[in-house]
A and B are shown apart, each in its own frame.
Chain A
Amino acid sequence: MTAASAIARKDWREFVRDRRLLVMAALMVLLSLAAVMTAYARVAAYEADRVATERRDRVTWESQGERNPHSVAHFATWALRPLTPLAVLEPGVTPYAGAAIWMEAHNQNGARARAIDDAAIAFDLGTFSVAWVLQTIVPLLIFVIAAGLVARERERGTLALLLIGGADARGLLPRKLGGLARIALLLAAPVLAAGIAAALLAGAVDPLRLALWTLAYILFFGIVATAAVAVSALARTVSGAMLILIGLWCVAVLLAPRAGVAIAQATAPTPAPDAFWSALRTDLAKAPDPFEDKAFEAAVLQRYGVGKVEDLPVSFAGLQLDESEKHGAVVFDRHFGRLAAIHAEQRAAMRWASLLSPVPALENVSTALAGTDGPHQLAFQNQAEAHRRAMIGALNRDMVEHGAGEDFDYKAGSALWRATDEFRFHMPNVGATLRTIWLDLAILGAWALATALLLRLASHRLARSIV
């Protein structure tokens, strides 16, 4: 038996004998399984509901009968955001972001139907999910288990015996880390396995995303375990080590992500909703209204070489509507673009919290790979807006081309509604997703390096302590 496996076996035996830790571990596994089941139920119900609603609404859309295309543009359609199967593991921003966008004429609407609006929670410390357990509870458990790994040996005097007995002082901590890794793996494995099984049951999972997601968490647990063993080696007593580790956990898991939000709000404050919508309305009102603008009428008459509107070979109202949409698009792009830029600045600002903890970077990686982060939500909103403009443009074009002389009395048939594309959200590919989180992956790598150096420092100190 090698020294490494002997130490790992001893640590495992101690862990099993310590009923306090066993009870905590069992509770954690039960909690995780509950999280997996509730998340699976939530995602499955959501997706079934979304698909059924889309089907029902398509029937409504296609059975409108003969109508004026602009009336149909007002009725419009809805974009409903799909959830990826990996949302079972990581809900990310989805409870806090709108899931439905009304793609109507004249307006770019915000996403609405947020799950958080329909939840009676005021004390919100995160959505109960596998990711929440892995980011919050598992590190706490690893810290609690690891606190005594070296410090207890020192307290009992067995550390000195080990080292005097010829144990390699520099190799001891990596071996302790190996033992802890086995324990952590045994704790995390059922959680990960149940989560992954639920995600696979929920739909077709992108294997690359899933593999990267799992690797990110393994790296995170590696960081947590390495830091824990180093602290246990540097601390004089078990309770001292535990105190430091709980403090670190508190800063890393509870405080740092929230501190990031505070930095973000201070550096790039979100406008008040009323101010945002009021400024948008004011800008829209400033744009010349093609229904009242004589210059627009003159330009159209000149373009078609006619003297009065009645002689136009196309629907003048259709052209006015189209022009109005173009004016609107400029204003929407400006205001929503500014809002997206503020959110991007906030995302960058929230990253500064990674100086205190690897958790903000892990959250970015975890949500991005699950397809539940801010950029994925923005992609949904942008795709919905692009679809809205294409759909309204097509309806206006039909009115322009076929509604000459009739304008708002012109009626198109069901063939036009059937020819309108349904909204389909195209998830950004893995390459595009990785481009949004490369910095977060680098931050996790830096944390891994920093904790490895800390472990090395602790090893050196341990070696020096026997000289």
Chain B
Amino acid sequence: MLRLIALEARLLARERFAWVLLLFLALSCALAVANGRVLMDQQLDGRAIAAQGDAKARERVEGAFAPDFDRALAIVVPYWVRTQAVSPAPPLADFSAGRAAIEPHATTVTLRSRVDTLFERTAVDNPEAAARGSLDLGFVAVVLMPLALIGLGYGLFAADRESGAARLLLAQGGTPTRVLLARSVPRLLLVLGPLAMAAVVLLATGPQIDERGTAAGWWLLVAVALAAFWWAVILFVNALRIGAETAALTLVSVWAMLTLVLPAAVTATAQLAYPPPSRFAQIATARAAEMSSTTAYENDHPDLASESFAGRLASVRKSLSIARTVDRAVAPIARRFDAQLAGQQGIVRALAWLSPPMIAADAMTATAGTDVGRSLAFRRAAVDYMGQTKAALGGFIDRGAIMTRPEYAALPAFDWRPEPVRPVAQLLALFALALLVGAVALHRFRRVSV
């Protein structure tokens, strides 16, 4: 068997197309590695800057703990506090970018923060680049790799059957299964090789992040499972009594349907079924609530409103009361956003089972820590943290108490750690599909008449 595989590998090496394909995959992987490293650097740098926090704000607050600090101004200090909610770096953002480039990974929490504006100052990326999408290793694995496999495999047996060479081949090589296996191994290695090499390069040159190695292992397993699925489909199509041209057409159609059309249709269906509430309406509601509860300037500059303790306390209490009114007004809309996004996520998850490339893409981004679920979880955690921080800081104002240094040090800190994802169900599904389709294909091959 090994001799047969070696023979097929030598035959493949003589094909110019195989070398062109190898070059194409190698270049795609190199580009994906370069992109991945840029993205990962941005992710780490952005988090490092965010984690430093606002030194000037800290200095200002620390200054308020001096014994000679004006007591009347000290009551305003909770409004000066700025704390950070920073999500941990995704372990494999350089493998599968997912939503890493578009989702916020950090935010500043203050007493003025609101659920509807918590992530307002995040996007400075070029929307034209975002609209075109990025070329990452996940894209190579889910989109390009199957096309490469189709290119190598559409005529795996169909071409020989068409030309009449199949009879000769079977006579020399034994059963069709042996011939197919011998042909499959070098072709799969040709396609999976550059992908695995790229993954190794990223791992070797990337940052040290907890769980990165394990996550990369799972990620590669998903890529192998997807390749196995596509190869099974290719074998199945070759087992049909059709010519090489029809085999190529059928495979490209299946690829286009599963990789392009179904994901686009699933996304559109999810958005139609669970349309998010209007961001504009949310803005208008917050403004109307704010307007109905204030007409005074103190909302904006409590430190300038009055120079007496009682005057400033009254001012900050009014600000807090207005903020709470606005919070209450926008809370139902925020809940609707959460519900609709969860609904969209649910429908996308359910319908993704119709398309193995979607199953693989979801599993890869989940393993990479760049999926929708993790983004939503971070947003929820940041909103919870905002609630805790505002409750703690607002408490001083409610009580009319001046915050002390130990109380400042004891303010809640953001500590959200997502559980690492193990895409067992997706892996099992992909391998099961591959086995099923492959078994049907081999069954047909056993009954093959050339």
Contact = CB atoms under 8 A, between A and B. Distances in A.
Instruction: Verify that A and B bind, or say they do not.
Output: yes
Say whether chain B's binding surface is mostly helix, strand, loop, or mixed: helix
Contact of A261 (B98, B134, B288): B134
Contacts of A347: 126, 128
B272 A41 contact: yes
Nearest to A269: B38
B358 A265 contact: no
B94 interface: no
B38 A265 contact: yes
Given A119-B344, A123-B263, A125-B133, A239 B155 contact: yes
A421 interface: no
A93 B283 contact: no
A179 B259 CA distance: 30
A252 B355 CA distance: 24
Contacts of B99: 122
B126 A346 contact: yes
Given A128-B268, A243-B151, A110 B123 contact: yes
B2 to A, nearest CB: 29
Interface string A120-144: 1111111110001000110010001
Contacts of A393: none
Interface string A250-273: 110011011111101110011111
A433 to B, nearest CB: 15
Interface string A331-348: 000000001001100110
Interface string B141-156: 0111001001100110
A74 interface: yes
A254 B135 CA distance: 9
B260 A125 contact: yes
Interface string A413-444: 00000000000000000000000000000000
A53 B284 contact: yes
Q: Which of B46, B106, B279, B357 has the most CB of A within 10 A?
A: B279
Contacts of A109: 120-121
A304 interface: no
Contact of B358 (A112, A114, A123, A246): A123
B130 A259 contact: no
B260 A255 contact: no
Interface residues of A, number: 109
B64 to A, nearest CB: 17
Interface stretch (A182-190, A222-230, A274-282, A308-316): A274-282
Nearest to A118: B276
Given A98-B123, A272-B45, A118 B249 contact: no
A119 B143 contact: no
Given A49-B280, A125-B263, A261-B135, A339 B124 contact: yes
Interface residues of B, number: 106
A239 B248 contact: yes
B124 A122 contact: no
A294 to B, nearest CB: 18
B201 interface: no
Interface in B105-136: 106, 119-135
Contacts of B288: 56, 60
A150 interface: no
A88 to B, nearest CB: 14
Nearest to B56: A285
Nearest to A38: B268
A125 B134 CA distance: 10
Contacts of B372: 120-122
A57 interface: yes
A67 interface: yes
Contacts of B249: 20, 144, 242
Contacts of B132: 257-258, 260-261, 350, 360, 363
Nearest to B43: A272
A218 to B, nearest CB: 23
B287 A274 contact: no
Interface string B268-289: 1011100110111101100110
B416 interface: no
A92 interface: yes
A116 B125 CA distance: 13
Contact of B245 (A65, A68, A98, A239): A239
A66 interface: yes
Interface string B31-74: 10011001000100111011000101000000000000000000
Nearest to B366: A122
Interface in B318-364: 337, 340-341, 344-345, 348, 357-358, 361-362
Contact of A96 (B31, B131, B247, B290): B131
A424 to B, nearest CB: 16
A377 B129 CA distance: 13
Contacts of B31: 258-259, 262
Contacts of A38: 268, 271-272
Contacts of B307: none
B102 interface: yes
A122 B261 CA distance: 15
Q: Which of B249, B304, B361 has the most CB of A within 10 A?
A: B249
A12 B191 CA distance: 38
Interface in B368-388: 370-372, 376
A360 B133 CA distance: 12
A413 B299 CA distance: 19
A302 interface: no
B245 A258 contact: no
Interface string A134-168: 00110010001001100010000000000000000
Contacts of A126: 131, 133, 264
A278 B129 CA distance: 23
A121 B337 contact: no
A238 interface: yes
B296 interface: yes
B135 A258 contact: yes
Contacts of B247: 239
Q: Which of A71, A95, A144, A272 has the most CB of B within 10 A?
A: A272
Interface of B: 17, 20, 24, 28, 31, 34-35, 38, 42, 45-47, 49-50, 54, 56, 98-99, 102-104, 106, 119-135, 139, 142-144, 147, 150-151, 154-155, 159, 243-250, 252-253, 256-257, 259-261, 263-265, 267-268, 270-272, 275-276, 278-281, 283-284, 287-288, 290-291, 295-297, 299-301, 304, 337, 340-341, 344-345, 348, 357-358, 361-362, 365, 370-372, 376
7 contacts: A50-B280, A78-B287, A96-B131, A119-B276, A123-B365, A144-B249, A243-B248
Given A112-B279, A128-B264, A128-B265, 4 more contacts: A270-B42, A275-B46, A275-B49, A277-B121
Top-10 shortest CB links A-B: A272-B46, A258-B135, A53-B280, A113-B279, A93-B127, A118-B276, A123-B361, A97-B127, A120-B344, A96-B130
